[in-house]
Chain A
Amino acid sequence: MSILPQIAFLLIFALAGFFLYKRVSFLKRNIMLGKGETRNDQPEERWKTMLLVALGQKKMFKRIIPAFLHLLIYVAFVIINLEVLEFIIDGITGSHRIFAPFLGSFYGVAMNIFEFLAIAVLVSCVAFLIRRNVMKVERFNKPEMKGWPAMDANLILVIEIILMFAILTMNATDQILATRGVEGYTLLNGLFFSDMIQPLFLNMGDGTLVAVERFAWWFHIVGILAFAIYVTYSKHLHIFLAFPNTWYSNLKPKGEIQNMPEVTKEVNMMLGMPVEGGDETPAEIGRFGAKDVNDLSWVNIMNAYSCTECGRCTSECPANLTGKKLSPRKIMMDVRDRAEEVGKSIDLGGPGLEDGKSLLGDYITKEEINACTSCNACVEACPVNIDPLSIILQMRRYVAMEESGTPAQWNAMFQNMETSFSPWKFAPTDRFNWADQLKNEETK
C-alpha cells in the first residue's frame, strides 16, 4: 500500500497548523492593540459565567427557536469533532476507522449518533438560510449587514451543509464496500441515515465507489481544516472566543461606568485634597477617552472579535428601533474592522495606527454614539456578554474632553451643572423650595 496519501495528509495537516498559528498570532496581536486591563477577580464567578453563558448557551434561550437550532449545530460541532480525531489518526497512520475494533458494537452506535447530528446540522443550517434569505428576519438585513457580512453568514451555513453531505456520502459508500466484502472496510450494523442514500451509489463498481469514498473522506477532513482557517477571517470566531469572552465578562452592576483615576487625581489636586502617589504629574498622560482602537481596553477588542453579528443587540436597541443610526452591532463590527486594518498595515510595514484614520470619525460617527441612552439593552441581549456600551461611553469621553465636541445642548447642561449644580438652569438657593408648602401642611 502506498504511503503517498499519508505523506500528503501530513503535509496538509502541517500546512493548516502553520496557517492557523499565523492567524491566531495575528488576532492575538490585534486584540493586544488595546490598553491593558486586569480582570482576574472572582475566578469562581468567572468560571461559572463561562460555563452557563458560553458552554450552557443560557442567554441564547431568550429566543427559543434560533436557540434550539443553534444548540443542535453546537452540540454536533463538539461531538462530531471526536470523529475528526479518528480522521486525523487514520490520515497519519494510513488506517481506516481505527477506533472500530476497540469500540466494538458501540462504534456503530456512535456513528449513528454522529449521523443523526449531521442531519440535525443540515436541517438547522437550511432553516437558518431560510431565515436569512427568504424570511428576511429584520436583524439580518440592517445596513451594516450588506455585502461581506451577509455573504460570510451564508458561506458558513453552506460550507457546513456540504461538510455534512461529505460525511453521509462517505459512510454510505463505505458501507456498500463493506457489504461487498472489499478489503479494509468494516461492516457496521446499519447506519440509519446514510443507508437511505445508498441507492444513489449502488450502481457503481467497486473502484468508483472507493474513489467516491476516498474523495468524501479527503473532502471532509481538508474541508474542516480549511474551515478552521476560514473561521479566523470570519465572524464565526465566536465558536472559540465565546469562552474567554464570557470568562472576562464585566461582573460589576451594568449601570456602573468605570472610573478614570487619572481624572480623580487632577480633581483632587484642584480641590486641594490629598492625592495618592504624591502630586507629581505622571510620566505619560494618555488620551482621555477613546478615539481609536488602541485607546480601548483589550477586552473591548476581544469583544469585537467575539461578535458573530447576530444582531440581538441592535434589535433591542431603543435608538435603532426608532430609526436612529446607532446600531450596537455596527459598533462592534467597526472596532474589529479597524483593528484588522491597523494589524494588516503593521504587518506590511505600513503606518499602522498612524495612517491618518481613526475608529471615531472614519468608522463610527458622533451621530451614532450621541444617540445611545445607555440603557444596557444591548449588553443584556448579547448571548456572549459583549459590552458595546463601554465603547460608546469611552468615545463620548474623547469627544467631550479632548474635542469639546459634544452637542450644544449637552454643553449647556454642563454649564448649568458647573454654575448651579443642577443640569437645569435653576438657582441653587431654590433647591429646597419644594419643602416650603409641606412644612405648612397639616398632617393627616
Chain B
Amino acid sequence: MSTYKVPTMAEMAASGESPEILFWVGCAGSFDDRYRAVTQAFVKILNKVGVSFAVLGPEEACTGDPARRAGNEFLFQMQAVANIQVMNGYNVKKVVTACPHCFNTIKNEYPALGGDYEVIHHSQFLQQLINEGKVALKGGGEFKGKKITFHDSCYLGRANDVYEAPREVIKALDVELVEMKRCRTKGLCCGAGGAQMFKEPEEGKKDINIERTEEALSTGASAIAVGCPFCLTMMTDGVKNKDREHDVKVYDLAEMIAKDMGI
C-alpha cells in the first residue's frame, strides 16, 4: 500500500535532496478546519502528478501579512526575517502557495528584506499542470455542465493582476463559468483583507461578505469558486447566513480539481 507523501524541507535536506518547489501552506491552510481540506487536496494533486515538492512543516510561521496591514511593522518584519532565514537556509528557489495573502507578501514584500524567490499562486500552478497535460481531468465529474461563479480575491486580482489563471482552471472542468457583475478589476472584496479577518467590522448597515454573497447567489451558480482561505471563510459564512448552504457550495480551486481527478 502506498500512502500520500508530505516531505518536509528538513527531511529533504537531511537526505541531500532539494525539491523543485516549496509548498507554502500558510496559517489558514495549517490550522483552519475548512482550509486544511484545501491543503490536503492540493498535496494529493502534487502527489498524483509527481511534483517534486516539500513543505516547511513546523518550521513555517505566519508571513506577517496581517500584522503589516494592521500597522505593526516591527512584528511583520520579525516574522518576515525569520521566515526568510529559514527559506534561504534551504536555498529555496520557487514557492507555491494556496493563499493570495502569503503569495503577495512573499512575492512582493520579502525581496526588500533579502528573500528573493519565484512565487506563484496555486491557481497559476494548477493552470500550468493542466496546460502541460499533467493533470488528467475526467471532465465528466460532478461539476460538468454546472453553473459556477468565481470570486476574485483582492490580493490575487487587483494586487497582483492574476485574473485569468483561476478562470482557466475552472473552465478546464467543463463547467459553465458565470461572472458576477463586479468581477476582475472591479471585483468586490469579501471583507476579510487588510487584517479585517481578525476583528469585527466597524459599524455599518451591512457586512461586506453578505453584500458579496448576495451578488454571487444572484448569478444562479450552484457553486462559488475561490482561491483564498479568507474568501472561503467569508463566502461560506455568507451562504450560511442566506440559508443556502444546502444548494450552494463554496470550493477552493484545488478541491474542485482533486474531486474531478477522483482523489
Q: Which residues from chain A sit less than 8 Å from chain B, CB to CB?
A: 62, 252-257, 259-260, 263-264, 266-268, 270-271, 273, 288-289, 316, 318-319, 321-326, 367, 370-377, 379-380, 393, 395-401, 406-407, 409-410, 412-414, 417-418, 421-424, 426, 428-435, 437-444
Contacts and interface: CB of A to CB of B under 8 A. Distances in A.
Nearest to B30: A431
A400 B3 contact: no
A442 B73 CA distance: 44
B159 interface: yes
B70 A422 contact: no
Contacts of B198: 409-410, 412-413, 423
B246 interface: no
9 pairs of A and B residues whose beta carbons are closest in the complex: A255-B159, A400-B71, A374-B194, A323-B205, A396-B71, A323-B204, A421-B61, A375-B189, A409-B199
Contacts of B189: 318, 373, 375, 377
Interface stretch (B38-46, B130-138, B217-225): B38-46
19 contacts: A254-B159, A255-B154, A255-B155, A264-B113, A268-B81, A288-B73, A322-B205, A322-B206, A393-B71, A409-B199, A410-B70, A413-B66, A417-B75, A423-B62, A432-B30, A439-B5, A441-B4, A442-B1, A442-B3
A255 B104 contact: yes
Contacts of B188: 318, 321, 377
Nearest to A392: B194
A382 B2 CA distance: 55
B31 A397 contact: no
Contacts of B193: 373-375
B51 interface: no
Contacts of B31: 422, 424, 426, 430-431
Given A253-B104, A376-B158, A432 B58 contact: yes
B140 interface: no
A256 B108 contact: yes
B72 A406 contact: yes
Interface string B76-113: 01110110000000000000000000001001110011
A255 B160 contact: yes
Interface string B48-63: 1000000101101110
A373 B194 contact: yes
Nearest to A258: B112
B161 interface: yes
A318 B104 CA distance: 20
B196 to A, nearest CB: 5
Interface residues of B, number: 80
A91 B27 CA distance: 72
A401 B108 contact: no
Nearest to B194: A374
A419 to B, nearest CB: 11
Contacts of B185: 380
Contacts of B212: 318
B55 to A, nearest CB: 8
Given A263-B73, A397-B71, A435-B57, A253 B160 contact: yes
Contact of A423 (B66, B113, B191): B66
B182 to A, nearest CB: 8
Nearest to A413: B198
Contacts of A429: 58
A397 B160 CA distance: 23
A439 B108 contact: no
B54 to A, nearest CB: 11
Nearest to B83: A421
B226 to A, nearest CB: 15
B64 interface: yes
A377 B72 CA distance: 23
Given A268-B81, A373-B189, A443-B2, A438 B44 contact: yes
A69 B181 CA distance: 24
Nearest to B4: A438
Contacts of A426: 30-31
Nearest to B29: A434
Nearest to A433: B30
Nearest to B41: A438
Given A373-B193, A421-B62, A413 B70 contact: yes
Given A318-B211, A375-B193, A421 B71 contact: no
Contact of B73 (A260, A379, A421): A260
Given A409-B200, A423-B27, A256 B104 contact: yes
B81 A373 contact: no
B3 A439 contact: yes
Contacts of A432: 8, 30, 55, 57-58
B77 A263 contact: yes
A267 B79 CA distance: 10
B123 to A, nearest CB: 15
Given A253-B108, A423-B66, A367 B202 contact: yes
B47 interface: yes
A372 B194 contact: yes
